[in-house]
């Protein structure tokens, strides 16, 4: 889009472009979302930015009316942003630079810190430090508006190392003290709520049905009546529960996290966005898939269908292996046993949610016989042990180059193409991943795997969404 096209989208307050760009108004020094309900400025007074951090670097301050921190993130999986910049942005927005250095982040991505800086500067026009500061302040601003927390609690929950640094950064960015935004008196609380925007439509019920069929006993619970998803979480040594529901009035998902997870709000928000695929652009995806006569009716029946992501990459990889050549129900039972055998206990007020899925290091230290004891074959146990070791020693990372990740997955004995493509769909967020040999997909269109693969080429780059539409119809049949 050129700037004139962006201005036309601004005039229309078109929600499809929410989070795709931001507009700075030179006469006020404020930047807004394209859906802001304030009076639209003249074209000559508008400056357009790709990222909130870019607007802030130019000296603009966030609008207090449309609240840019609530905008959905850019759907980066198929746009021009390089995989390195995309991966770096995701890690930084999840808090990677709160307690670690850029060198640490770059090492995890298999690049140098200089290369990461150059990629971010080229793609989004800001440095890693500026991006991290914008992410921290956006979270702090949301908590100030919506939560009854003390300044100290907000500072640390937002990833700042001290209250002094928080106050200084907030004043520098917004020209006022953070306390000036606080509308509620601080009080004790059991949960903290986060609001995560998305681009409508969102097929929330269909998404919950998919997760409900695969909900691990002890780890996850879906309530289709209340329309909520709940799960345990263990992040940075802290445990608790996370509950998600659709906002009653906004195009947003509300995440309620246990107060014990307060210092992990940034990774929680990042994981929730990935799990519910909140950065997708449903109009672009739906209009493309509807060109195929076999998909058109399905897309029309379930507009805004998402590809469920993964709360944790290792978790979904293990579950994919457990699900090989057995039913969804049987795989879910095995996953629940696996979590209870190796996971950490969680104190929870929600009945049945009492264990967190284990991390790779814990499983890597287990003996093959212990893995077999949950009811899997020796070959499956060996594959899971190999996966755990690959994750634990850093040989397999699902946040770097997706082609490298797929190659590493398929190099593990027992991980075939179906498993790798399924993991790519859910853990890598690869929109074009497509397990064409899947029996449900083959039956849905009554084609051979090879014919299905050939047919799917026309659905690219959204084949993962096509798979979801086919699976969804099968689940409802």
**For residue 197, which phi and psi values (nearest 5 degrees)?**
-75, 160
d(CA 237, CA 288) in angstroms, rounded, equals: 43
Query: Can you tell me whether residue 386 is helix, strand or coil?
Result: helix
Put residue 352 in one of left, alpha, beta given phi > 0 → left and psi -120 to 50 → alpha.
Answer: left
d(CA 339, CA 357) in angstroms, rounded, equals: 5
What six digits make up the tokens of 176?
């006022």
Contact 84, 60 (CB under 8 A): no
Helix axis angle, 83-93 relative to 113-124, nearest 10°? 100
Residue 247's closest CA among 304, 303, 204, 184? 204
Going by DSSP bridges, is the β-strand pair 191-197/30-32 parallel, antiparallel, or unpaired? Answer: unpaired
Going by DSSP bridges, is the β-strand pair 61-62/30-32 parallel, antiparallel, or unpaired? Answer: parallel
d(CA 239, CA 229) in angstroms, rounded, equals: 17
DSSP 194: E
b/e sequence 38-67, b meaning 16+ C-beta within 10 Å: eebbeeeebebbbbbbbbbbeebbbbeebb
Catalytic, out of 79, 277, 438, 454:
438
Burial class (CB in 10 A: 0-12, 13-18, 19+), 403: exposed
Beta strands per DSSP E along 215-296 = 220-223, 228-235, 238-246, 252-258
Q: Which residue in this structure is represented by tokens 């908590």?
A: 143
What six digits make up the tokens of 363?
């499983």
d(CA 434, CA 431) in angstroms, rounded, equals: 9
Annotation says 46 is catalytic: no
Going by DSSP bridges, is the β-strand pair 355-356/30-32 parallel, antiparallel, or unpaired? Answer: unpaired
What six digits make up the tokens of 451?
């014919």
Catalytic, out of 32, 36, 46, 63:
32
Longest Cα separation, the chain: 70
Query: Can you tell me whether residue 344 is helix, strand or coil?
Result: strand
Residues classed as catalytic: 32, 438
């Amino acid at each position: 889009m050129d700037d004139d096209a962006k201005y036309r989208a601004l005039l229309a307050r078109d929600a499809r472009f929410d989070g795709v760009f931001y507009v700075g108004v030179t006469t006020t020094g404020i930047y807004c979302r394209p859906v802001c309900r304030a009076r639209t400025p003249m074209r000559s007074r508008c400056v357009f930015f790709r990222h909130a951090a870019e607007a802030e670097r130019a000296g603009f301050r966030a609008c207090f009316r449309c609240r840019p921190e609530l905008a959905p993130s850019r759907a980066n999986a198929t746009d021009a942003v390089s995989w390195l910049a995309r991966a770096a942005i995701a890690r930084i927005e999840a808090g990677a630079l709160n307690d670690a250095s850029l060198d640490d982040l770059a090492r995890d991505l298999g690049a140098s810190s200089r290369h990461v800086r150059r990629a971010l500067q080229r793609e989004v026009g800001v440095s890693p430090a500026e991006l991290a500061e914008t992410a921290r302040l956006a979270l702090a601003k949301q908590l100030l508006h919506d939560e009854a927390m003390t300044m100290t609690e907000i500072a640390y929950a937002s990833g700042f190392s001290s209250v002094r640094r928080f106050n200084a950064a907030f004043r520098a960015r917004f020209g006022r003290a953070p306390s000036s935004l606080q509308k509620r008196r601080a009080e004790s609380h059991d949960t903290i709520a986060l609001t995560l925007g998305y681009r409508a439509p969102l097929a929330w019920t269909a998404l919950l049905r998919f997760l409900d069929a695969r909900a691990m006993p002890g780890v996850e619970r879906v309530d289709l009546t209340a329309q909520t998803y709940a799960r345990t979480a263990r992040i940075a040594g802290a445990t608790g529960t996370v509950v998600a529901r659709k906002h009653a009035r906004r195009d947003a998902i509300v995440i309620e996290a246990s107060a014990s997870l307060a210092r992990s709000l940034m990774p929680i928000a990042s994981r929730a966005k990935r799990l519910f695929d909140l950065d997708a652009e449903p109009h672009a995806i739906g209009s493309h898939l509807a060109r195929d006569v076999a998909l058109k009716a399905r897309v029309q029946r379930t507009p805004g269908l998402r590809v469920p992501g993964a709360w944790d990459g290792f978790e979904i990889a293990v579950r994919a292996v457990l699900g090989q050549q057995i039913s969804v129900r049987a795989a879910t039972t095995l996953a629940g046993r696996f979590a209870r055998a190796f996971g950490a206990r969680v104190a929870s007020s929600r009945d049945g949610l009492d264990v967190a899925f284990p991390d790779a290091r814990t499983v890597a230290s287990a003996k093959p016989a212990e893995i077999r004891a949950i009811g899997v074959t020796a070959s499956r146990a060996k594959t899971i042990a190999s996966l755990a070791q690959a994750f634990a020693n850093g040989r397999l990372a699902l946040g770097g180059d997706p082609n490298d990740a797929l190659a590493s997955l398929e190099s593990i004995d027992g991980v075939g193409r179906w498993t790798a493509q399924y993991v790519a769909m859910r853990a890598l967020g690869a929109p074009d991943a497509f397990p064409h040999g899947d029996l449900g997909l083959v039956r849905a269109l009554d084609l051979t795997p090879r014919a299905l693969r050939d047919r799917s080429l026309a659905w690219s780059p959204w084949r993962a969404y096509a798979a979801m539409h086919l699976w969804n119809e099968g689940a409802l049949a």
